[in-house]
């Protein structure tokens, strides 16, 4: 046998003997109540819980997610690679989340916090298709206070950003993202000619819509923002549920790529999340989570869920916590599914 043929046989043997990549593993978490609300580690609810000094939580809890329903509440933390469930009284969670929808905010929406800045959808309105939307985004910023012996109220500057003539902001939750060292807000805007992603930032000292993706007809959802040195966003567009990845680094959003399609040919839907160098996003019918490479939006693996996605999902370490439509809570561990 020639050396080349012997090498080929050896390589084939090693490939055949190598274990297959581990598929994502789904585990149901034991909770004594049906989950109707889930908040991830970046939410106001999670911030309130971790700063409230609750005795039930570890002193250094790390990132947490918060879940609750009519029958109870809990905080989810990581203990090694295991998700620990810390029960809390429901009234404690209700007290800590009472400010999620401030006065004047769009009913059912939640404000976002980032340092001294809070923002929320305001001014209930109707979009071009008649669906509920918001006439503006209200931004409130706490100002610096000069130290003195006498207590002083913290001054707050407030600005309301309109979406533009004939447009409304979609009733989706805002997303804060840092672009070029400055805080910006991501919102979906609906125009008579279609929907687009609006980037709200401060320019020349004034908060306004500073950039927007071209509006296109059909449904639009924000699957997730992509934080980091090269911030971006992943959109789900159209009835077919195609993914679009946009770069937000420059003056205007630039579309980087579109998905070539899902494994089942049915597309995708929100919600989604970034997990290392992978994107985790719900299937079009929300009965599974798909793992895609952020390099080319190619699907690498899929985890079938016990029930469709309900209240949303959150990332804890290398696991995704999913609130299911039937009130159960599941964790999905990605194994070797990430590219």
18 or 257: which leads in pLDDT: 257
Express each pLDDT in 202-216 by its tens digit: 998 999 999 999 999
Give yes or no for a contact between 289 and 280, defined as CB atoms under 8 angstroms apart: yes
pLDDT at residue 336, rounded to an integer: 55
- Cα atoms in the Cβ-side hemisphere of radius 13 Å centred on 333: 10
CA distances from 87 to 66, 109, 166, 278 (A): 10, 25, 47, 31
pTM over 0.95: no
What b/e string do you get for 181-206 counting C-beta neighbours within 10 Å, with b at 16 or more? eebbbbbbbbbeebbbbbbbbbeeee
Residue 277 burial (10 A CB sphere; 0-12, 13-18, 19+): exposed
pLDDT at residue 22, rounded to an integer: 60
pLDDT at residue 17, rounded to an integer: 41
> Residue 337 — pLDDT band, cuts 50, 70, 90?
very low
Domain boundaries of the chain, sorted by first residue: 101-217
User: Residue 104 and residue 137: Cα distance in Å, rounded?
Assistant: 11
Give yes or no for a contact between 186 and 164, defined as CB atoms under 8 angstroms apart: no
pLDDT at residue 16, rounded to an integer: 43
For Cα atoms 198, 185, 159, give the angle at the middle one, nearest 5 degrees.
100
> Residue 168 — pLDDT band, cuts 50, 70, 90?
very high
> Residue 39 — pLDDT band, cuts 50, 70, 90?
very high
pLDDT at residue 144, rounded to an integer: 83
User: Residue 329 and residue 84: Cα distance in Å, rounded?
Assistant: 13
pLDDT at residue 20, rounded to an integer: 45
Express each pLDDT in 127-147 by its tens digit: 888 889 999 999 999 988 777
Give yes or no for a contact between 304 and 23, defined as CB atoms under 8 angstroms apart: no
Express each pLDDT in 260-310 by its tens digit: 788 888 999 999 999 999 999 999 999 999 999 999 999 999 999 999 999
């Amino acid at each position: 046998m020639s050396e080349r043929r012997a090498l080929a046989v050896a390589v084939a043997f090693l490939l055949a003997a190598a274990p297959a990549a581990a598929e994502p593993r789904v585990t149901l978490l034991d909770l004594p109540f049906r989950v109707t609300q889930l908040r991830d580690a970046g939410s106001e609810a999670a911030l309130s819980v971790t700063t409230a000094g609750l005795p039930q939580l570890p002193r250094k809890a790390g990132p947490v997610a918060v879940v609750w329903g009519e029958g109870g509440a809990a905080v989810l933390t990581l203990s090694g690679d295991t998700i620990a469930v810390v029960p809390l009284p429901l009234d404690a969670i209700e007290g800590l989340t009472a400010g999620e929808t401030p006065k004047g905010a769009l009913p059912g929406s939640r404000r976002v916090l980032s340092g001294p800045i809070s923002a929320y959808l305001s001014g209930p309105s109707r979009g071009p298709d008649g669906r509920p939307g918001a006439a503006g985004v209200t931004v409130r910023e706490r100002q610096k206070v000069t130290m003195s012996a006498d207590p002083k109220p913290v001054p707050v500057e407030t600005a309301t950003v309109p979406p533009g003539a004939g447009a409304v902001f979609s009733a989706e939750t805002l997303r804060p993202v840092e672009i070029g060292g400055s805080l910006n807000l991501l919102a979906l805007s609906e125009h008579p000619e279609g929907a687009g992603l609006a980037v709200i930032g401060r320019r020349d000292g004034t908060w306004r819509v500073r950039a927007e993706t071209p509006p296109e007809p059909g449904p639009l959802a924000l699957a997730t923002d992509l934080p980091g040195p090269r911030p971006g966003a992943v959109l789900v567009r159209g009835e077919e549920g195609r993914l679009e990845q946009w770069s937000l680094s420059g003056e205007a959003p630039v579309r980087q790529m579109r998905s070539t399609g899902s494994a089942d040919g049915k597309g995708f839907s929100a919600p989604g999340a970034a997990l290392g160098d992978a994107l985790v996003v719900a299937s079009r019918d929300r009965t599974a989570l798909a793992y895609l490479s952020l390099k080319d939006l190619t699907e690498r693996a899929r985890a079938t869920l016990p029930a469709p996605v309900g209240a949303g999902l959150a990332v804890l370490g290398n696991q995704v916590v999913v609130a299911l439509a039937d009130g159960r809570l599941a964790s999905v561990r990605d194994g070797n599914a990430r590219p």
